[in-house]
Structure 1
Amino acid sequence: MKPIKYSLFALTIAAAFSGSALAQDKSDWPSSITIGTGSQGGTYFGYGSGFGAMISEDLGLNAGVEITGGPVQNVTLVETGEHQLGFVTLGPADEARKGESPLMPGVPHEKVRALFPMYQTPLQAAVLASSDIESFQDMEGKRVGVGPAGGTSATYWTRFFENAEGYGNVDISNAGGSDTAGQLKDGLIDAFVYAAGLPTGAYAQLAVENDVRFISMDEETLEKMMAIVPAMAPFTIPANTYEDQPEDLQTVSLWNFAITNTDMPESLAYEITKLAMTNHDRMVTNHAAAKETLPENVLKNQVIPFHPGAVKWFEENGYEIPADLK
């Protein structure tokens, strides 16, 4: 028997078939997508800029990053289809799903679907070292920057100060992360409280340029925060995450997930999920917080149904998605 020989013609036909199949698979893809992130100086913006570049390079789409007010705005922009991809913390996303979004009150966000886990967002706080503020109780009567209106930070810090007995009478200031850090440096506010993945650029720069004191939550503050926002969980910010931070900081956190709309083609949702879940080193290069962008964290989300494309990737790779999240 003569050995089988593969002709150049046959290989060319096979390659052409493969290419046409791939093109057909992408036939219902949009030519571009918009990713809703957050303010400059926050983790969403850096994480999203890097991931958008990966999408453009690997998937052949023009992925643009848009600065937004954060999760509260992002979930609504994805629900309405204005953005095709967005980053959210699970607290605001769950509230929007129930029709409790402050941007669209009474309108359940039923078209939002989860794609993949990102990282945890811890609540953080800093003052200048010259300040007399040494605890959250000391912030009463002070002017406190909480980040951009509509973001995770502003939503939950404001809710905390308005509802925690003994912590009220705080003068709230809203601005982006980098702007708020600048206001603290210039003495326009007394404290800068925020919510973003580690390390947060605005805090890192602030600590390099100024003598800063980071505030840790005592047990009373932890308990009050988790009572007011049950979706929060205890979290430790490791020592030396920032300059001028020699000890661990106790706080609380929320998980972040990437979301899309039910209208995203299943094959595109699959490829975006695959891109994030199989390129860990590249994701960490985008932002250090992506060290938690791992498939084993998929079920940290128990509130947003997953897109069928994401379900397909996770289940192909051994991660069972509960029926109520499909």
Structure 2
Amino acid sequence: MTTANVIKVAAIGLSLTATTAFAAEHENREGWPESFTVGTASQGGTYFAYGSGWANLVAEELGLTGGGEVTGGPMQNMALVHTGEAQFGMTTMGPAAESLEGTNPIAPGLQMTNACAMFPMYQTPFSVTALSSSGIESISDIPEGARIGFGPAGSTSDTYFPRMMEELGVDFERRNGGWSDLGGQLQDGLLDVIAFAAGVPVPAVSQLEVQTDVNIIEFTEEEQQAILDAFPVSQFEIAADTYTTLEEPARSVSMWNFAIANCDLPASFVKAVVDVVMSDNERMVNIHRAASSTLPENWDKNTVMKWHPGAAEWFMENADADISEDMIYSNM
């Protein structure tokens, strides 16, 4: 079922009549692709689990072949969706804004305006994890020259967390890699700290908790405020029941994530995909707990990207969304 790069789910049947409640509405499939790919991020991170999960759900419900693909995260996803190499992807608002402005490091100068907003996902908290044996219990405890893993190159974490650490006066040696790999390096003593930006619970942290004792480090009020003043993030608390290590909520900051679609995909197709994902939140939460925020009323958290026409139509019909015409993509 799985490969190193792509998880595919075969269609259960060729018609919707036996597999989905969406049959009558989605009989007209003119221009629909026979298969699709969702750009996610590295294995061991929330994007991969969440993205592969909703891709599989859509494939099953709509009788298509589709799945999640391992990528470098939001920056690469914006590029893949813009060019059409991936039909769908996931991004955070910061990398989306940079990509639209033409400052995505993958293709400097290219304004990636053919990637459209599709549906709200969840907030990405920024959090720090170290082994308990390291003695690191706060940001100020991080030693000079610490080896910090910031996730895959070009990811939201790698884009923003080093800047945040510099803002807080931390001197570090920057390391990149997939979350599972970085978790193994932390456990083996090859890293001092991992700086995560991922939906919680982060699978790699949950796995570390089972195997060893870790410290999940929160920001102080002063540190949180300094980051809020300098970056496009909002206040966030990681709930105490997120990890067994936590005894009380951990102070953090977060950035919203949105699913994105190539703007040239048929409106009826994108609307059907949004319908599958947004119409039954319980199924999404069963895929990943972060999906508790994948709710129609969070459509307004997108202030950056133009909406795909099919997605805009769904939210206007089902969530009373007030989306202005200039925020809906048009190739006219």
Structure 2 length-normalised TM = 0.88
Give the fraction of aligned pairs with identical amino acids, expressed as a percent.
46
Return the offset for 1:107.
Answer: 1.2
Task: Give the whole-Å Cα distance in 1 for the aligned partners of 2:46 and 2:113.
Answer: 27
1:208/1:243 contact within 8 Å kept: no
Q: Is the 8 A contact 1:274 1:313 kept in 2?
A: yes
Residue of structure 2 equivalent to 1:45: 48
Structure 2: stretches of 5+ with no match in the other structure: 1-16, 18-22
Q: Does 1:251 align with 2:255?
A: no
Q: Distance in 2 between matches of 1:120 and 1:47?
A: 13
Partners of 2:150 and 2:158 within 8 A in 1: yes
- Render the CA deviation track for 1:76-96: whole Å, top value 9, x for unaligned: 110111100001011100110
- Name the larger-Rg structure: 1
Paired residues for 1:5-44 under 5 Å: 23=27, 25-44=28-47
Aligned residue among 64, 88, 91 for 1:88? 91
The C-alpha deviation readout for 1:102-137, integer Å capped at 9, x for no partner, is 111111111111010000000111111111322223
CA displacement at 1:262 relative to structure 2: 1.2
Matched AA of 1:280: N
> Following TM superposition, by how much is the alpha carbon of 1:20 offset from its aligned partner in structure 2, in angstroms?
10
2:25 and 2:284 map into 1 onto residues whose CA distance is 28
3-state SS in 1 of match to 2:67: strand
CA distance, structure 1, for counterparts of residue 37 and residue 61 of structure 2:
16
Q: What one-letter code is carried by the residue in structure 2 that aligns with 1:244?
A: T
Kept in 1: contact 2:58–2:277 (CA 8 A): no
Deviation at 1:22, TM superposition (A): 5.1
C-alpha distance 219-21 of structure 1, shift in aligned 2 (>3 A): closer
Report what 2:269 is aligned to.
268
Equivalent pairs, count: 306
Q: Give distance in 1, aligned partners of 2:55 and 2:135.
A: 42
Aligned to 2:293: 292
Which residue number corresponds to residue 7 of structure 1? none
Match status 1:124 vs 2:130: no
Change (3 A) 1:21 1:90: closer
1:79 aligns with 2:82: yes
1-side partners of 2:91 and 2:168: how far apart? 28
Picking from 137, 140, 153, the partner of 1:137 is: 140
Q: What 5-or-longer segments of structure 1 have no aligned partner?
A: 1-14
Structure 1 match to 2:8: none
- How far apart, CA to CA, are the structure 2 residues paired with 1:64 and 1:43? 15
State the Cα distance separating 1:233 from its structure 2 match: 0.5
Worse-matched range after superposition: 235-244 or 258-267:
235-244
Pair 1:148–1:22, CA change in 2 (3 A): closer
The answer on whether the counterparts of 2:316 and 2:323 sit within 8 Å (CA) in structure 1 is: yes
Q: In structure 2, the residue corresponding to 1:251 is in which secondary structure?
A: strand
> Compared with structure 1, are the counterparts of its residues 21 and 243 closer, same or farther at alpha carbon in structure 2 (3 Å cutoff)?
closer
1:66 to 62, 66, 69: 69
The answer as to 2:158 corresponding to 1:157 is no
2:308 alignment partner AA: H
User: Is the 1:117–1:297 contact (alpha carbons within 8 Å) kept by the matching residues of 2?
Assistant: yes
- Aligned Cα root-mean-square deviation (Å): 1.8
1:228 positional shift = 3.0
Shift of 1:165: 5.4
Query: Which residue of structure 1 aligns with residue 100 of structure 2?
Result: 97
Distance 1:137 1:322, change over 3 A: farther
